[in-house]
Amino acid sequence: MLELGFGRDSDGDLSFETVHSSQSSMSSESCSSFSRFSFDATAAAMLEPPTSSTTMAKNDNENNDNNNNLSLKPHRSSDFAYSAIRSATFGRKSGLTFRDFRLIRRIGSGDIGTVYLCCLRSSDDGEEDGDCPCFYAMKVVDKENLAVKKKVHRAEMEKKILKMLDHPFLPTLYAEFEASHFSCIVMEFCSGGDLHSLRHKQPQKRFSLNSARFYAAEVLVALEYLHMLGIIYRDLKPENVLVRSDGHIMLSDFDLSLCSDAIPAVESPESSPYAASPSTPSNARPHTTTAPSTSASLTPFSCFPNRLFRSRRVQTLTANHRLFVAEPVAARSCSFVGTHEYVSPEVASGGSHGNAVDWWAYGIFIYEMIYGRTPFAAQSNEATLLNIVKKPLVFPNPTPRSALEHHARDLISGLLDKDPTRRLGSKRGAADVKKHPFFKGLNLALIRSSLPPDVPGLRRQRTTSFGQGGSKNADRSRSQSTAFDYF
C-alpha cells in the first residue's frame, strides 16, 4: 500500500495527496482552499484550441517570448532530460507547448498549483509509461483561481526565481507556456521523495550524524547560491528538500521567497567567529551587534584584480586569507509567512525580518535531521510561536555523545540565536557557516561529487523496477517508493 507521509504544509507548498499534515503553516494572506480540478478536466481544458485567431496569436507570442527567455543551463549540459528538451525545441521558432507533453498522473497539489508527472510526446502516442526516456514535473497554475485568491504575485515570483537559477541543488526550469487560463512550468522530476519522508524511514526516525552533515552541507551550498543572487528562501524545511534519483538534494517551492540585492565582496576573515579558535563553543565567543566589516577589511569583488600577473604562490596565499561574501543583509520584509515550527523569533513576534530567517530555519533543519523533531514544537501553533520567542534552546541529552555531535550542537546554537543581529550567518552568510568545525573534512566545493548516504536509484534496483511485476513484498516496496515520487 502507499505509505502515508508526515508532511507539514506551508502556505503555498506542494504535498503528496495522501500526506496528512501534522504541522500547520501561516501567511498574512487569506488562505482559501485550493480548487482541485480533475486530471481529465485539466488536460481537456488545456488541449482545447483557442477560440479565436487573436487568442491563438497571443498564445504563440507568449510561448515564443518564453522560449527566448529560457537561458542556457551550463551545469545541465550533460543531463539527458535537459538535452531532450533542447532537442525538442531545436529549429523551432516558438517554444514548447502543452501539446508537446503527455501527462501521466497527478503527483502533487498545493495552495497555488497542481503538479503532474509528464514526459515529452513521441511519434508513438501509444507508448507506455515505462517507455518514456525521462520524466518531468509540470506545475499547472490556474490563473483565474489565483486572481480570486489574490496570489498571482506568488506564482510570478516563483517563475521569476526559477529563471534565475542554475545550480546542481536547485530546480531547473525546462519550459514554460500558457494554455487557456492555465500557466505551466516544466521542471525536473525528483524520484527520491523528500528528507522528511526519508527521515521517517531511518532508525528511530532520525539521520545519523554523518548523513545529517551531508544533507546539511548540500543545503548550505544551495542557500549560499540563493543568497548570492539576493534571494531569501523563507520556506526551508525537510519537506521542501527533495531527493534526486542520484541521492543528491534539490530545494523546491519558491513562491514565498523574497528577492533583494546582494553586493559581492571579498573580506578579511579576521572578524569570523571561527577564525581565531574554531573549537571555541559559540556560547563562549563574544558576539557583536555591529557589522564587523570596515573599509580596511572589505574589498569590492572583482573578477580581474589589479595585478593580473602575480605569482601563483602569492595568489594562493591571498586567496587563503580572504572570504567571498555575498549576503542580502539589507533585505527587509514584514510578511508573516512560513511554517510554524521553522519561523524565526522576529517573524513569530510580528516584527520585520531579513536574511537571518533562513539561517534560523537552517538551524531548525539540522536539529530535526539529527534529533528527529524540532526544538520548539508544542501542542498548538500559538504555543509553538511562544516557545520560539521565549523558550531557551535545549537538546534531548545534556551531554553530546561524540565530538561531531558537540560540533553539531555548537553550530545549531549559533544558528538559533534569538537575536538576528547575533545569529550565525546573519552578517556574512555561508562564508562564516562553512568555516564551522561541524563541516571539517568535507570538501564543500566538491560535495556534488561525493556519494550520498542514500541513493534511490540503487535502492530501486535492489527491489523492483518501475512497471514490473513481482512478489507481494516487492509490490509493497514499489508502492512505498511511489509515495516518494512527487515534486
pLDDT tens digit string along 392-414? 999 999 999 999 999 999 999 99
Is the pLDDT higher at 214 or at 265? 214
Least confident of 63-77, 279-293, 368-382, 436-450: 279-293
Is the pLDDT higher at 477 or at 343? 343
Is the pLDDT higher at 31 or at 245? 245
**280, three cell numbers:** 571555541
Closest by CA position to 101, among listed 50, 143, 142, 135: 135
**pLDDT band for position 460 (cuts 50, 70, 90):** low
Please list, in sequence order, all residues whose beta carbon lies within 8 angstroms of the beta carbon of residue 468, skipping any fewer than 6 positions away.
none
Average pLDDT, the chain: 75
Q: Strands 298-300 and 265-267: what pairing? A: antiparallel
Q: Which amino acid is at 269?
A: P
DSSP string, 334-360: ----EEGGG--HHHHTT--B-THHHHH
Residue 123 has a pLDDT of 47
Q: What percent of the chain has pLDDT over 90?
A: 48
Residue 317 has pLDDT above 70, yes or no: no
Residue 65 has a pLDDT of 47
Is the pLDDT higher at 146 or at 66? 146
Region 241-261: mean pLDDT is 93
Report the C-alpha gap between 422 and 291 in whole angstroms: 10
Least confident of 128-132, 159-163, 258-262: 128-132
Residue 28 has pLDDT above 50, yes or no: no
**pLDDT band for position 158 (cuts 50, 70, 90):** very high
**pLDDT band for position 322 (cuts 50, 70, 90):** confident
Please list, in sequence order, all residues whose beta carbon lies within 8 angstroms of the beta carbon of residue 163, skipping any fewer than 6 positions away.
69, 70, 71, 173
Residue 403 has a pLDDT of 97
Residue 281 has pLDDT above 60, yes or no: no
Within 13 A of 125's CA, how many CA atoms are on the CB side?
Answer: 2
Least confident of 27-36, 133-142, 184-193, 332-341: 27-36
Residue 368 has a pLDDT of 98
Neighbours of 69 (CB within 10 A): 12
**pLDDT band for position 276 (cuts 50, 70, 90):** very low
For 24, list phi and psi in degrees, rounded to 5: -85, 175
**pLDDT band for position 85 (cuts 50, 70, 90):** confident
Radius of gyration of the chain (CA): 23
Angle, helix 456-463 to helix 472-484, in steps of 10 degrees: 160
Region 11-28: mean pLDDT is 40
- The residues that are catalytic are 235
Is the pLDDT higher at 42 or at 238? 238
Least confident of 33-47, 57-71, 447-461: 33-47
Q: Which amino acid is at 256?
A: L
Residue 390 has a pLDDT of 97
Q: Are the CB atoms for 243 and 456 separated by under 8 Å?
A: yes
Report the C-alpha gap between 482 and 245 in whole angstroms: 13
DSSP string, 43-81: HHHHHSPPSSHHHHHHHHHHHHHHHHHPPP-GGGTT-HH
Q: Which domains does the chain have, with CATH numbers?
A: 32-188 (3.30.200.20), 195-449 (1.10.510.10)
pLDDT tens digit string along 356-396? 999 999 999 999 999 999 999 999 999 999 999 999 999 99
**313, three cell numbers:** 604562490
Region 99-113: mean pLDDT is 87
Residue 112 has a pLDDT of 81
Residue 264 has a pLDDT of 76
Residue 272 has pLDDT above 50, yes or no: yes
Report the C-alpha gap between 11 and 240 in whole angstroms: 12
Region 137-163: mean pLDDT is 92
Q: Are the CB atoms for 282 and 410 separated by under 8 Å?
A: yes
Region 54-70: mean pLDDT is 46
Region 465-482: mean pLDDT is 35
